[in-house]
Chains A and B, each alone.
Chain A
Amino acid sequence: MPSYDCVAMLLAGGEGKRLGALTKHIAKPAVYFGGKYRIIDFTLSNCANSGIDTVGVLTQYQPLRLNTYIGIGNSWDLDRKNGGVTILPPYVEKNGLRWYSGTANAVYQNLNFLEQYQSKYVLVVSGDHIYKMNYTHMLKQHIANNAEVTISVIEVPWEETGRFGIMNIDQENRIIEFEEKPKHARSNLASMGIYIFNTDILKLYLEKDEHDTLSVHDFGKNVIPAMLEGEINMYAYHFNDYWKDVGTIKSLWEANMELLKDQPSLDLHEYNWPIYSVNPNQPPPYIGPRAVVKQSLINEGSIVLGEVERSVIFYGAHIGEGSVIKDSVIMPNVKIGNGVRINKAIISEEAIIPDGCNIGNEEGEIILIEEEMGNC
């Protein structure tokens, strides 16, 4: 029998309001990224690569596509006889249906899932971020510190501290104070929303939190502050690598563009830390006789007959003759006609761009095209 040292709870119910039309029909973790991935691929691959093979995925907002995508988890090697991936949607019980009212409440409502594994530790992560991280290192530090809670932190620019949950720590990395979106931060260490808890402590505080009528049942806002108040052994784990919250159209576009640098800060080609995703059956990508492709990512199943520069092209995309695509992200199965010009735009899945359209410009904001366009 496996020992289930650490079970992961992956929060994937985020609505991603600031991504606008991109999250009209899908939850934020299902949003496309990097030519073939969905955002949740990074967290699931991190779990798989870290040897954490029991993962509960908590879904709520628009779960259909996400559920279909995750399936039995075989794409991430998480289809296991023991453990593996389990989708945990809100459910009906004797006293009626209860939606997940917050991140902490979502985990609280699935304590029975955790109980069946009797794991000593619980890793709580969200499916909203793009990063590569070995959770085993964090777990090792958690054990070495004899910690009850460990929170992963990253240094953010001082001017952005107001957007994050900021941790104040002592010389031994012990977290002494937590400030949610402070106006005058005293540290620039932001919580990455990655927590390791001792299961018994987590259970205790989730039950307490559940009975607190003033609580909004959120880890950052309620549970962590309550634990600090309760003088729980809480440590920071420093993470220094690439980590990005692609919460807005602009940051999603930027993260895609960063992949195109000669030495991208996020290397998708790394052999020892593969990012897995569902691989639909697609023919090889066809680059036409008059096509020009520069500084781009192009996935299988696409047809490029025009010009593509500094862009990310997903599977099934068709780019017609004489079209010029620059600094843009073209999502799956987009059909772009002939003589189209696209600059600094994200073209959403299945969109159809008729011949001769002109979208975006070099100086302007990032434009999001969601569905079929009329005539230009």
Chain B
Amino acid sequence: MYDVMGVINLGEEHGSLEELTYYRNQASVPFAGKYRLIDFTLSNMVNSGIQDIAILAKNKYRSIMDHLGTGKEWDLDRRRGGLFILPPSFHHSNVKGDLQFFHQHLEFFIRGHQQYVLISAGHIIANVDYRPAFHFHKQMNADITVIYQDLDNNKELSNWRKIAIDDNGRVRALENKIQTIHSDKVSMEIFIMEKALLLEMIDTCTQDGECHVINSIIKNIEKLHIYGYSYQGYTANIDSIKSYYKHSMDMLSPTIWQDLFYQPRLIYTKAKNDPPARYLADSNVTHAFIGNGCKIEGKVENSILFRGVKIHKGAYIKDSIIMQNSEIGENAVIEHAILDKRTVITSGKHVIGEPDQPFVVSKRMRI
């Protein structure tokens, strides 16, 4: 896919992860014991052979810049091309919506040698090969290809954009805020089109003030040949605390983690240098991810521990997610909770949520 430019569009992040996005954008929320949400989309692009990738940042992007660095971990520190983080500019503009961020970096899109672009959101969890979709796009002679999935029970906790597709595979309707549609198919928010069409959309939108990628597509749904490409593998849309919690817990199911992490295509992330996790004599761990650098003296059940977490004696962690460098004191009990980075739960404290309403402790809090 040498001829395709990748764009991860963080200009239009849907949903809210509440406490987890106080200090970071959605795409950089930690996930599955060592990743950030963006790792999945970025790795998919790299694994599909895309060599130029732009990240359109909107706000709270310190964390994502720190995470991505020079793009080395994704093999994107290239002499030519590679990773480009494109931050927003703060001049006053009448045009609103995510296309304004494309417009602000018009030069980047004009200069790129690729004929095509693949635009994706940054908070979709999947291990997808985009190459068959690109092949499909060319074969159908499509103006735009949208990757979609069938709606199933697994998806009920997230707000997916519904998509209507006719028997010939043509997209007939896409949902937006104004228009709801009935369909059993949902968009994975991955679009393939010619760069020329994107430039045209940017140009038109700056003239008439209508500036969303999605609306520009919807507006032209009759005029353009928009096709749907069906993807069958595991997919999650992390757009709320509930979906974050549920899909994190999904990761403990062997079929799901094998689908995501044991493909020939690996998910890459920023490597850290922690020693292996240390389990002491009193530890009792079942059904869990335990990141490197952890020190476990207590009981951990059905949980995900990121790197460098300390669980002291007698502490009991159940059905919970504990992020980097947090510390759980002696005899503390954590159940159905999400603890952000560097939180400290002192001895004997109980932090207990509900299965459908996990208790969230924000970054650096001390209880």
Chain A interface (Cβ < 8 Å from any Cβ of B): 34-36, 262, 268-269, 274-277, 279, 281, 283-300, 312-314
Q: Which residues of B contact A298 (CB under 8 A)?
A: 276-277, 279, 290
Of the candidates A34, A281, A284, which one forms a contact with B289 in the assembled complex, judged by CB atoms under 8 Å apart?
A: A284
A284–B279 touching, CB < 8 Å: no
Residue count of chain B within 8 Å CB distance of chain A: 36
Q: Which residues of B contact A292 (CB under 8 A)?
A: 284-286
Q: Is B278 an interface residue (CB 8 A)?
A: yes
Q: Is B122 an interface residue (CB 8 A)?
A: no
Q: Is B266 an interface residue (CB 8 A)?
A: yes
B271–A286 touching, CB < 8 Å: no
Kindly state the separation between the CA atoms of A289 and B284 in the bound complex, as whole angstroms: 12
Q: Is B34 an interface residue (CB 8 A)?
A: yes
A291–B291 touching, CB < 8 Å: no
B287–A287 touching, CB < 8 Å: yes
Query: A283-B257, A283-B261, A284-B32 are contacts. A36–B285 as well, Cβ < 8 Å?
Result: no
Considering only residues 250-285 of chain B, those with a C-beta below 8 Å from chain A are: 252, 254, 257, 261-262, 266-269, 271-273, 275-281, 283-285
B275–A293 touching, CB < 8 Å: no
Q: Which residues of A contact B267 (CB under 8 A)?
A: 283
Which of chain B's residues has its CB closest to A284's CB?
B33
Kindly state the separation between the CA atoms of A302 and B297 in the bound complex, as whole angstroms: 20
Q: Is B236 an interface residue (CB 8 A)?
A: no
B276–A36 touching, CB < 8 Å: yes
Kindly state the separation between the CA atoms of A292 and B32 in the bound complex, as whole angstroms: 21
Kindly state the separation between the CA atoms of A151 and B363 in the bound complex, as whole angstroms: 49
A-B residue pairs in contact (CB < 8 Å), sample of 8: A34-B276, A284-B290, A291-B286, A294-B279, A294-B284, A297-B279, A298-B276, A300-B292
A279–B257 touching, CB < 8 Å: no
Which of chain B's residues has its CB closest to A296's CB?
B279
Query: A281-B269, A284-B32, A298-B277 are contacts. A293–B283 as well, Cβ < 8 Å?
Result: yes
Q: Is B123 an interface residue (CB 8 A)?
A: no
Which of chain A's residues has its CB closest to B282's CB?
A294
Q: Which residues of A contact B32 (CB under 8 A)?
A: 284
Of the candidates A276, A286, A299, which one forms a contact with B273 in the assembled complex, judged by CB atoms under 8 Å apart?
A: A276
Q: Is B329 an interface residue (CB 8 A)?
A: no
Query: A283-B262, A290-B286, A294-B283 are contacts. A268–B269 as well, Cβ < 8 Å?
Result: no
Smallest CB separation, A288 vs chain B (Å): 7
Q: Is B314 an interface residue (CB 8 A)?
A: no
Query: A269-B275, A281-B269, A288-B286 are contacts. A295–B292 as well, Cβ < 8 Å?
Result: no
Smallest CB separation, B72 vs chain A (Å): 9
Kindly state the separation between the CA atoms of A50 and B131 in the bound complex, as whole angstroms: 48
User: Given known contacts A281-B268, A286-B254, what 8 new A-B pairs fall within 8 Å (CB)?
Assistant: A35-B276, A36-B275, A284-B289, A286-B288, A294-B280, A295-B281, A296-B278, A298-B277
Q: Which residues of B contact A277 (CB under 8 A)?
A: 273
A287–B289 touching, CB < 8 Å: yes
Smallest CB separation, B127 vs chain A (Å): 11
Which of chain A's residues has its CB closest to B277's CB?
A298
| Residue among A284, A290, A300 with most chain B CB within 10 A | A284
A286–B275 touching, CB < 8 Å: no
Q: Which residues of B contact A269 (CB under 8 A)?
A: 275, 278, 293, 295
A299–B280 touching, CB < 8 Å: no
A300–B273 touching, CB < 8 Å: no
B280–A262 touching, CB < 8 Å: yes
Kindly state the separation between the CA atoms of A314 and B292 in the bound complex, as whole angstroms: 11
Kindly state the separation between the CA atoms of A71 and B266 in the bound complex, as whole angstroms: 22
Smallest CB separation, B148 vs chain A (Å): 27
Kindly state the separation between the CA atoms of A218 and B289 in the bound complex, as whole angstroms: 49
A281–B286 touching, CB < 8 Å: no
Query: A269-B295, A298-B290, A300-B291 are contacts. A285–B277 as well, Cβ < 8 Å?
Result: yes
**4 closest pairs, A vs B, by CB?**
A284-B33, A35-B276, A283-B261, A268-B275
Of the candidates B268, B273, B290, which one forms a contact with A274 in the assembled complex, judged by CB atoms under 8 Å apart?
A: B273
Q: Which residues of B contact A291 (CB under 8 A)?
A: 285-287
Kindly state the separation between the CA atoms of A286 and B253 in the bound complex, as whole angstroms: 10
Kindly state the separation between the CA atoms of A296 and B282 in the bound complex, as whole angstroms: 11
Kindly state the separation between the CA atoms of A201 and B288 in the bound complex, as whole angstroms: 58
A285–B290 touching, CB < 8 Å: yes
Q: Which residues of B contact A35 (CB under 8 A)?
A: 275-276
Smallest CB separation, A301 vs chain B (Å): 9
Q: Which residues of B contact A284 (CB under 8 A)?
A: 32-34, 289-291, 304
Kindly state the separation between the CA atoms of A227 and B261 in the bound complex, as whole angstroms: 58
Kindly state the separation between the CA atoms of A274 and B275 in the bound complex, as whole angstroms: 9
B280–A295 touching, CB < 8 Å: yes
Kindly state the separation between the CA atoms of A292 and B272 in the bound complex, as whole angstroms: 26
Kindly state the separation between the CA atoms of A296 and B262 in the bound complex, as whole angstroms: 24
Of the candidates B272, B275, B277, which one forms a contact with A275 in the assembled complex, judged by CB atoms under 8 Å apart?
A: B275
Q: Which residues of A contact B293 (CB under 8 A)?
A: 269
Smallest CB separation, A133 vs chain B (Å): 18
Kindly state the separation between the CA atoms of A313 and B33 in the bound complex, as whole angstroms: 18
Q: Which residues of A contact B279 (CB under 8 A)?
A: 293-298
Q: Which residues of A contact B280 (CB under 8 A)?
A: 262, 294-295
Q: Which residues of B contact A276 (CB under 8 A)?
A: 273
